[in-house]
Amino acid sequence: MDFRFTDDQLTLAESVRDYLAGTHGPEVLRRLDAEGNRDPAIWQGLTEMGLTGLLVPEEHGGLGLGLVEAALIAAECGRACLAEPLVDTAFVAVPWLVRNGDLADLGAIAAGERQMPLPHVLNPWVADGEGSALESVDPLRNLVMFPAAGSADPYLLDLGALMSAAQLVGLADAMLHQAVEYAKIRTQFGQPVGAFQALKHQLASCAVAVEFAKPAVWRAAEALQDGGESASVHVSHAKVAASDAAVLTAETAIQVHGAMGYTYEVDLHFWMKRSWALNGAWGDRAWHLKRIDQAVIGGTMPIGPEHTFA
């Protein structure tokens, strides 16, 4: 029993964070927004970092890592509001293909030559892919409606939900950070607005929500990785907690920004909109809550102090 990431995991996450911070800052988001959202050079960079092959078994040219590592990296993608659809292909489609023994495309995916956004019955559209275009509130999401009905496989749904949850805690972290930084420099009534206790306490409440959503996400990643019986319930917990933290943080962050927050000029809006999109993706709040309801009130899963890791 050790609820910590390994040093290797932390180093990997940090290197991705640093890389994205250096190559995928807000000025890049604004450029992409103006120029059609996708930039092969960015995808190339992610491929060279090994991220497209993170979950691809080594014998197919990948790094052969697991869902815990993927969740950590997905959180970094959220933090950076990554425009490229890395998570959908590399952290959702790949482990599903591996589970299904469908290995043909793994090499191409690892090499960055193939993207594979997968539809699900609960999630008929995802970013990129082939199909009729839909316009998302998120300007960086190239949404398409798939022509065929998606899979109904619960494992695929769990993967999508887990990785959405991981992105959402990263998004929430980033929005909290942006709000804090703005509150330090914006002055009103002769002082930084961040010195006003009312804003301090709102931001502190966001920190509480985000910090207690994170361990639920890591625990869900571990559960799904291990394939335990209750893994789906933990994924649903992660999705609900991360979504709620992100929605709260988005509303607080815009409030802290005041009228500036309501403009397109402030970076915040990219993160808010991604949060709203992922809030509904891969099973919405009600869907995941119902799964928890069946387990907890319905009694299909043991609960109580001795069942922390049930």
Partner 1 sequence: MDLVYTPEQQAFRAEVRAWMEAHVPKEPLVTLECREGYDQHVAWERTLASGNWGMVTWPEAYGGRGLDLIQWLIFEEEYFRAGGPNRANQNGIFLLGPTIMEFGTEEQKARFLPPMARGEVIWAQAWSEPGAGSDMAAIQSKAVRDGDHYVITGQKTWSSRAAFADWGFGIFRTDPDSKRHKGLTFILFDLNSPGITRRPIRQLHGDTGFAELFFDEVRVPVENCLAGEGEGWNVAMATAGFERGLMLRSPGRFQATAKRLVDLYRAHEAEASPAAREAVLQAWMQTQAYAYNTYAVASKIMAGGKIGAEASLNKIFWSELDRMMHRTAMQILGAHAELKRFGNGQINQWLEGYIFSLSGPIYAGSNEVQRNIIAERLLGLPRVGAG
Question: Interface residues with a second copy (CB under 8 A)?
Answer: 196-198, 200-201
* Nearest residue to 71 via CA among 18, 126, 16: 16
User: Shortest approach of a second copy to residue 97 CB, angstroms?
Assistant: 44
Q: Distance between CA atoms of 230 and 271, rounded to whole angstroms?
A: 31
Q: Which is nearer to a second copy, 108 or 180 (CB)?
A: 180
Binding flag, residue 197, partner 1 (CB under 8 A): yes
> In this complex, which beta carbon is closest to partner 1, that of residue 101 or of residue 299?
299
**148 counts as binding partner 1 under rule CB under 8 A:** no
Q: Give the per-residue contact string, 153-172, with partner 1 (x = CB under 8 A; - = no).
A: --------------------
Nearer to a second copy, 197 or 308 (CB): 197
CA atoms within a 13 Å half-sphere pointing along the CA-CB vector of 45: 16
The answer for residues whose C-beta is within 8 angstroms of residue 306's C-beta and 6 or more apart is none
Which residues in 9-38 contact partner 1 (CB under 8 A)?
9
Q: Is 155 helix (H, G, I), strand (E, B) or coil?
A: helix
Q: Which stretch binds partner 1 (CB under 8 A): 74-82, 91-99, 152-160, 208-216?
A: 208-216
Phi, psi of 166, rounded to the nearest 5 degrees = -65, -45
81 neighbors 140 (Cβ within 8 angstroms): yes
Query: Using the rule CB under 8 A, is 152 a contact of partner 1?
Result: no
Best CA proximity match to 56, nearest among 117, 11, 14, 102:
102
Q: How far is the CB of 266 from a second copy (least distance, A)?
A: 24
User: Is residue 141 near partner 1 by the rule CB under 8 A?
Assistant: yes
Residue 121 is a binding residue for partner 1 (CB under 8 A): no
Residue 185 binding: pick among a second copy, partner 1, none (C-beta 5-8 Å cut-off by kind):
none
Sign of the four-CA dihedral 68, 77, 80, 52:
positive
